[in-house]
Structure 1
Amino acid sequence: MFKKTIPLYLLMAAAATGCVSQKKYDTLLAEKVRLEALQTECEEKLAVANSGIQRLEQQRSELEAERSKLQQELGQTSQDLQARQKAYKELEDYYNNLVNTSGKLQGDLSEQQKRLISAREELEATRRRNEELATNLQERERRVNELEKLIAEKERVVSQLRQKVSDALLNFKENDLTVEVRNGKVYVSLAEQLLFKSGSTQVDPKGQKALQQLAGVLKDSRDINILVEGHTDNVPMNKATACISDNWDLSVLRATSIVNILQKSGVGPDRITAAGRGEFVPVTANTTADGRAKNRRTEIILTPKLDELFQLLESN
C-alpha cells in the first residue's frame, strides 16, 4: 500500500515554525488520509487497466481459435454444398427421366419428387448455414484486427516514449538513472545521489536539470499518466523532525518535491500522482552499502492511457 503525500507547502510551513498546533496537525492528518484514499483508488484503476489488457490478450487468442474453427467448418460446409448440389442434379436428371417413362412408374415418380423437394430444402439450409459461417468469420476477423491494432499502437507509443526519454537524458551517467520498459510501462529510475542529499527532501540543481529535461518530453505527451514513487533503504531516520518521522514520510516528501518540479516545468498536474513506498519495495538486498544505495531511488512510471482498450473490452 502506498503512503500518500502531504502538500509540500503545508509541511514546509510546519517545518518553518518548528511545531504545529493540534488543529493544524489534525488538518494535515485529514489531508493525508484523503490522499491515501485517492492513491488507493488510483492503484485499483491501474490494476483494472492491467487486468483489462490481460483479458484483451486472452480474447484475442480465443477469437483466433474461433476463427480457425470457423474456417474449418466453412470448408466442410462448402464440400457438403457441392455434394448436395451434385446429388440434386442427379435427382433432377432422374426426375426428368421418370417424367418420360410410362404410367407404371408414377408411384416411383411421386417418391422421387418428395426426395427432390427434401434435397432442395437441405440444399437451401446448407447454403444459409454457409452464409452465416462466412459472416461470423468476417466479424471475428474484424474484432481480432481491432485488438491487434490497439495493442500494437500501445506498444508503439511505449517504445517511442522510452526513446524520447532516453534521448532527453543522454547527458546523465548510467549509474545516476536508467530508462526501461516493464509490463507495458516506461520506468525512469533516478538514484538518490542525482536528486537529494542524505535525509533531504530538496532536489539538488543537477537533479532539477534532469527533471526539467524529462518534463520537456512529458508535457507534450498528454496521453501519458505519470506516477512518481519515492523509495528508501531500510535504515531508520537518524533524527526525526516535526515533518519527517520515518522512511515513509521521507519517501512521500521526496516524491512530492519531484512532482512540484515537473508541474512547474509544464506537466499538467491532473496527470501526475505522487506516492511514497518507503523501504518496502527494494530492488536488491539492503545488506550492503551498494545495495542500500540502489534502493534509495525515485521511480517515475509512465503509463499510456487505456481508454480505447477499455471501450473495446466493454463492447465485447
Structure 2
Amino acid sequence: MTKRISVALLIAILSTSCVSKKLYTELEDKYAKLKKENRTLADTNDNLTKEKNQLDLDYKALQDELAKTRSERDKLQNDYTAASNNLKNLQSSYSALEKNSNDELQSNMTKNRELLAKLEAKEKALAAEQARLDKLKADLQSSSQRLAELENMMAQKDAAMRKLKETLSKALNSFEGKGLTVEQKNGKVYVSMENKLLFGSGSWAVGTEGRRAVTEVGKVLGDNPDITVQIEGHTDDVKYQGSGQIADNWDLSTKRATAIVQILLENKNINATNITAAGRSQFSPIAPNETAEGKAKNRRIEIILTPKLDEISKMLNEI
C-alpha cells in the first residue's frame, strides 16, 4: 500500500510540475506494470495453495482407503472362519443322520425315508456352503495378496523417503547449527532453512552460504527425479515496512520461495514440472512470535519432498 501511495503521489507531483510528457508516460506505464505483476503473483499464490491442499487431501484419502481395505480383509477372514465352523457342523450332522439311517433302516422304513430326505437336503446345503466357502476363501486370498502388495509398495515408498532424508542430512551436514534442519514426517521429508542462512532483512536475494546449501539440495533432487517438491516461504508476524518491489509479507515470502526454485532449476537434472513455489507469509509459524528466537525460527524456507503416489492410488482403485 505504501508503494502504491508513493507512486501515486510521485505521479501527482510530476503532473503538476515541469516534467516532460515522456517521463510522465513512463511513470504511468511502470505503475500499471507493477499493478499487473502484483495481481499475477497473488493469483499464482492462490493456485499453489490450492494444489498443496489438494495433495494433502489425496494423501489422507489414500490412508483412509488403506484402512478400509484392511477392515474388509478382516471381515472376509471372519466370514471364512464362520463358514468353516458351519461346514464342520453340517458334516457332523450328516454323519449322525447317516448313522441313524443305517441303524434304523431295517426296523422302520418310514423313518428311513424321512432320514434320507433330510440327508439329501443336508447334502445340498453342504454343497452350497462348500461353494460359498470356496468363494470366500478365494476372495480372501485375492484381497490379502493385493493388500500385501499395497503395504509392500507403501513400505518401499517410506524406505525411499528415509534414504532420501539420510542422503540430504549427509549432504547438508556442514550446515548443522546454521539454521538448517532435515526431518521426515507424515511420509514426507522437510528441509527447513532459517532466513539467517539465506536472505538479508527484507531481501529475497540468496547469499553465498545459502546458495551453497540450496545447490546441495538440488544435487540430491537431481538424483531423485520422481520426487514432488514444494517450496514454501515463511515470515514472522512483523508487517513489512519497506518500499520498492515488495508489497507485504505475502509478496516477500513468495519472492523468496521463487528465488529458491530458480537456484534449484540451475541443476538440469531436476524436472521443473515436479516443483511448485508458495508464499505462506506469517500464517504457518513453528514457534511463538513473542521472542526474537521464535521470530527467527518462523522466518524460513521449507523444501517439502513428497513421493509420487500414482501407483498406490491405482492399486487402491483396483481393490
TM-score class, shorter: 0.7 to 0.9
Contact kept, 8 Å, 2:233 with 2:256, in 1: the verdict is: yes
Residue in structure 1 matching 2:122, options 115, 119, 122: 119
- State the 1:249 CA deviation: 1.2
Distance 2:303 2:278 in 1: 10
Contact kept, 8 Å, 2:41 with 2:251, in 1: the verdict is: no
Distance 1:57 1:174 in 2: 39
Paired residue type of 2:161: V
1:76 and 2:85 are equivalent in the alignment = yes
Give aligned pairs, total: 293
Distance 1:18 1:193 in 2: 35
Q: Deviation per CA, 1:249-278: give whole Å up to 9, x if none.
A: 111111111000001123221111111111
Paired residue type of 1:263: L
Residue in structure 2 matching 1:265, options 260, 264, 267: 267
Aligned residue for 1:235? 238
1:204 and 2:197 are equivalent in the alignment = no
Change (3 A) 1:290 1:107: closer
* % same residue: 34
Contact kept, 8 Å, 2:84 with 2:133, in 1: the verdict is: no
Residue in structure 2 matching 1:55, options 54, 64, 69: 64
Q: TM-score, normalised by structure 1?
A: 0.84
Aligned residue for 1:223? 226
Change (3 A) 1:70 1:41: same
Contact kept, 8 Å, 1:250 with 1:278, in 2: the verdict is: yes
Distance 1:146 1:272 in 2: 29
Change (3 A) 1:180 1:19: farther
> Any idea what SS the aligned residue of 2:57 has?
helix
1:141 and 2:144 are equivalent in the alignment = yes
What aligned pairs does 1:21-32 form with structure 2 within 5 A after superposition? 21-32=30-41
Residue in structure 1 matching 2:255, options 237, 253, 256: 253
Distance 1:53 1:70 in 2: 26
Change (3 A) 1:18 1:297: farther
Paired residue type of 2:118: R
Contact kept, 8 Å, 1:283 with 1:294, in 2: the verdict is: yes
- State the 1:171 CA deviation: 1.3
Residue in structure 1 matching 2:133, options 130, 135, 140: 130
Distance 1:24 1:274 in 2: 22
Q: Deviation per CA, 1:28-50: give whole Å up to 9, x if none.
A: 24432442343144124213322
Q: Deviation per CA, 1:101-139: give whole Å up to 9, x if none.
A: 48xx54344333322322222221222222122122212
Residue in structure 1 matching 2:186, options 183, 190, 194: 183
Distance 1:28 1:132 in 2: 64
Distance 1:122 1:173 in 2: 72
Q: CA RMSD in A?
A: 2.4
- Structure 2 residue ranges without an equivalent (≥5): 1-25
Q: Per chain length, whose mean CA-contact separation is higher, i.e. which structure has more relative contact order (CA < 8 Å, sep 6+)? A: 1
> Any idea what SS the aligned residue of 1:278 has?
coil
Q: TM-score, normalised by structure 2?
A: 0.83
Change (3 A) 1:19 1:58: farther
Change (3 A) 1:209 1:277: same
- State the 1:246 CA deviation: 1.5
Paired residue type of 1:25: L
Change (3 A) 1:287 1:20: farther
Contact kept, 8 Å, 2:254 with 2:280, in 1: the verdict is: yes
> Any idea what SS the aligned residue of 1:283 has?
coil
